Amino acid sequence: MSAREEILGRLRAATTEVTTPVGHRGPAPVIGVPSPGAGETLELFAENVADYRASVTRCRPEEVGTVVAGLLDRAGARSVVVPDGLEASWVAAAREAGVELVPDSGADGALLTAAELDAVSAVVTAARVGIATTGTVVLDHEPDQGRRALTLVPDQHVCVVRADQVVHDVPDAVALLEPRRPLTWISGPSATSDIELDRVEGVHGPRTLDVVIVG
């Protein structure tokens, strides 16, 4: 008997007394807090993002480029990876200020290697969803965010979230996401609680997380 057949057989034999049919529970219940209003949801999002030591800046759409340039400058970034589908105006001001823009795919179509990424200071991306109750941004790695390595290896991540992308609670976000895309949920910069169970920011992921809320 194959391991598969044997394990399935054991599991079946272990549950012979079960009389309920598959799916007896019904669909997963949705247990969350409804949004008290778009303004409050956005306030809470900004507050909770900041609570885990990410910076939060709110601005109008035409200001994104200047805000991004300012954030890169504050962290001393000299170069920035640009996902292939990123809105070009978001990094135009930074380029003018002398920050080197590094596209993910070169002229020959080859993607940056991990070592090349490691040499870049920062990355600028869009996001898919923001979650107010937890201060989380979720990336689904579409072209305006780039593949997963881009937001992982450089030490600064500037993440631009549109106000209308922010939902109130965790189940709202889960309902919006497409599970067949890779998903990365980010709540604050890389951190650890492994030393005496105290949270310390800055281990392997970007040590600086700047969230820009637009609109």
Out of 50, 92, 101, 111, the only residue in the binding site for another protein (CB under 8 A) is 111
- Note whether 166 and 130 are within 8 A (CB): yes
Q: Does 55 bind another protein (CB under 8 A)?
A: no
Nearest to 171 by CA among 47, 35, 24: 35
Q: Helix (H, G, I), strand (E, B), or coil: what is residue 16?
A: coil
Out of 35, 41, 57, 136, the only residue in the binding site for another protein (CB under 8 A) is 136
Residues 66-95 that bind another protein (CB under 8 A): none
Euclidean distance between CA atoms 104 and 82, whole angstroms: 6
Q: Does 107 bind another protein (CB under 8 A)?
A: no
Q: Does 133 bind another protein (CB under 8 A)?
A: yes
Euclidean distance between CA atoms 55 and 62, whole angstroms: 20
Euclidean distance between CA atoms 9 and 109, whole angstroms: 49
DSSP class per residue in 118-132: HT--EEEE--SEEET
Residues 167-186 that bind another protein (CB under 8 A): 170-171, 173-175, 177, 179-186
Residues 186-205 that bind another protein (CB under 8 A): 186-205
β-strand pairing of 79-82 with 129-131: unpaired
Q: Does 115 bind another protein (CB under 8 A)?
A: yes
Euclidean distance between CA atoms 195 and 55, whole angstroms: 24
Out of 35, 57, 125, 134, the only residue in the binding site for another protein (CB under 8 A) is 134
Q: Does 108 bind another protein (CB under 8 A)?
A: no
Residue type (1 letter), 61:
P
Out of 43, 96, 148, 159, the only residue in the binding site for another protein (CB under 8 A) is 148
The residue (of 4 and 60) whose beta carbon lies closer to another protein is 4
Report in angstroms how near the CB of residue 110 gets to another protein at its nearest: 11
Total residues at interface with another protein (CB under 8 A): 80
